[in-house]
Structure 1
């Protein structure tokens, strides 16, 4: 019997990583469909060309926290109504109290509310759908180059305590755990579990040192005034960084390494991105 899997955000970092991990399983019984903003974009076309068996469907995605929460709850309700067996939701790590702490960050709060809706609906009498909640920490892709890397590095340098260890995860590793949860729903490791994800834990100074050793340059930064101006306009940035300080991180990196020995450290992630 075919194993049908539906992946939202198919051309995004996380959705695309889940699709790659699913096809890497080389299981002909798995049929993958993806939802994306626009199936005609170059990224969507590249994905379709690489995986001819993939079916892509276009749909608009929520632009803000309020609509993210509404769409997330609607997806959960629709999944239950249509007999979906397992629902894997990626949200965000919010520290050791992630189960009860929505934080002060609006796009963290919306994900917290989606989690609670998923847990409540799957626990209702008659529900046959199980869930896995994956909570990524800071994306290593934030240090992949461009203005966002400069902004993130500068904000971390200026705002975080020097001794604060930031947990980080590569998008491909989120995809690996997503594929495992989708294809092994009866595994106690995943069934009705919430798992924070990280492959490394580093201070800002360690991030800079490793980047220098691997790439020959420090992580690029920008002027502090630029970061300050962006923070005034986009208040989520300073609030997110403050959440790192106040709420911390909760991924059990050693246990995650035991489950997936291929998990990437920041160094390995950088080395994999270097031109051959």
Structure 2
């Protein structure tokens, strides 16, 4: 008996998480999905690369008008929702509007990428504004699922900090600088965004299973300190871990207090609490820092 084709709307399709989800789904030859990749500009090179892939259709739109997005897809079954954290008020408003439009269009399963919030992820919005906005979006999805009498289900993915923030440019060096301000031996849990996409694919492929139906999944691939990261980086690349002056980190935390300052302070005072070894038993493909450096980072080719 063949599985009916399900139409899936993917936000952030030309970004890291949405793109990783599409790649993961396309790697499953038995997956019966028609993927509708949301992009602001369907003629952009990144969008056109997506359009060349099998079972991928481009739709233009953005979070400011989600109803228009779903008008382009007949009988959508799923939604992958990833929101922009730079303005937490706008993020919450647009995230909830996207959910409402999905429900109105008849979507049956939503995978939403939020964030881990430590030991009290289920109940604590934290002091970090864009953690709180994601918390409120989750609660809105939960409420809509309850009101649907089983017609709507969801999976919440709760990743920690991203390896991908470590880049060989100003912002990448500044990230490491801010991280080091918390102490050379203070650990931070991190994950590759590509692995978020892989777990998102599993959530859609197994939406009816107890592991993903109306469940939250915390995601982390490693738990390491700046000192440990520098050691691994040196072993893999032969170089020092790119960073910048500590005062630059202090200044950025002050200038972008809501987006960065409060978050890095929370990393030190509370922090993520994912059971990484247990998670890797369930998802052995999750990369640690070394594997990410060797395969996906900006230094991957140089280290080979």
TM-score w.r.t. the length of structure 2 is: 0.85
Deviations 1:218-242 (A, max 9, x none): 2211122222332222112121111
Which residue pairs with 1:33 in the alignment? 36
1:144 to 156, 163, 167: 167
For each residue in 1:28-85, what CA deviation from the matched residue of structure 2 results, as whole angstroms up to 9, or x when unmatched? 6211111123222222222323x14311222234662212111111121222222212
- 1:125 deviation in Å? 5.2
Is 1:9–1:37's contact at 8 Å kept on the other side of the alignment? Answer: no
User: C-alpha separation between the residues in 2 aligned to 1:124 and 1:244?
Assistant: 35
Other-structure match for 2:244: 222
Shift of residue 171 of structure 1? 0.9
Q: Which runs of 5+ in 1 are unaligned?
A: none
Q: 1:99-118, aligned counterparts within 5 Å? A: 99-118=122-141
Separation (CA, whole Å) in 2 of partners of 1:211 and 1:7: 33
Partner of 2:227: 205
- Alignment partner of 2:49 out of 27, 46, 57: 46
Q: 1:28 to 1:253 in 2, by over 3 A?
A: closer
| 1:205-257 CA-partner distances (Å, limit 9, x unpaired) | 11111111101112211122222332222112121111112221122212221
Q: Deviations over 1:164-209 (max 9, x none)?
A: 2211110111001100001111111111111110011101111111
Query: 1:231 maps to what in 2?
Result: 253
Match of 2:191 in 1: 169
Matching residue of 1:251 = 274
Higher relative contact order (CA 8 A, sep 6+): 1
The reply on whether 1:14 has 2:17 as its aligned counterpart is: yes
Asked whether the 8 Å contact 2:5–2:33 carries over to 1, the reply is yes
- Name the counterpart of 2:68: none
Q: Which residue of 1 aligns with 2:72?
A: none
Aligned CA RMSD, in angstroms, stands at 1.6
Higher alpha-carbon deviation: 255-264 or 134-143: 255-264
3-state secondary structure, aligned to 1:152: helix
3-state SS of paired residue (1:167):
strand
SS of equivalent to 2:120: coil
Q: Do the aligned partners of 1:167 and 1:199 also contact (CA within 8 Å) in 2?
A: yes
Distance in 2 (CA, whole Å) between partners of 1:31 and 1:242 is 42
- Unaligned segments of structure 2, at least 5 residues: 64-83
Q: Comparing 116-125 with 176-185, which one deviates more in the overlay?
A: 116-125
2:81 maps to none
- Give the match for residue 271 of structure 1: 294
Q: Which 10-residue stretch deviates more, 230-239 or 195-204?
A: 230-239
